[in-house]
Amino acid sequence: MPIDTRELMEAVGMLTDQRNVRVTIKSSAKGAMVCGTTCFIGGLLGGPVGLAVGGTIGAIGAGMMSKGKFRSVNEIIMQEMSDREREQLKERILKALSQFHPTDMAVLLPLIMGNAAAQQAILSTVISFVTNEMKMQIVD
């Protein structure tokens, strides 16, 4: 029986949620720039105390700017990927798991949930796909 893409993506989504794998949508660089700029300006205006105040204000501003811009990989897979991208990801995952010989979901689900090597192979494949194909940045 062929492996159903939707079921595989749900299993992968559970694994990425369990490991708390998230992506940022191009906001980390902006946040660093805001934080650095306010710290620099604070340092120019107030010396060492200005550095601390500017850095604090910048960090708060950067945090407010990035609110809601970090999302789980599961959300990306289930809501933003096209069917074509899901199929590509499925093929890459199955290729990464070829050493385990999964033939159908009845074999694959226990493998995903109970085998650390299989989980690492899947996570590496998903992270590679999200960063290289979808041009998103993974947050540790």
Give the pLDDT confidence of 76-123 residue by residue, as tens digits: 888 888 999 999 999 999 888 887 776 667 777 887 888 888 889 899
**pLDDT, position 118:** 87
| Upper half-sphere CA count for residue 39 (Cβ side, 13 Å) | 13
**Separation of alpha carbons 62 and 8, rounded Å:** 36
- Fill in the DSSP letter of residue 19: T
Cα 121–chain centre separation: 15
- Tokens standing for residue 77: 């897979």
Residue type at 100? F
pLDDT tens-place string over residues 18-42: 888 877 665 566 778 888 899 899 8
pTM of the model: 0.62
List CB contacts of 43: < 8 A, sequence separation 6 or more: 50, 51, 54
Strands lying side by side in the sheet with 137-139: 70-72, 22-24, 137-139
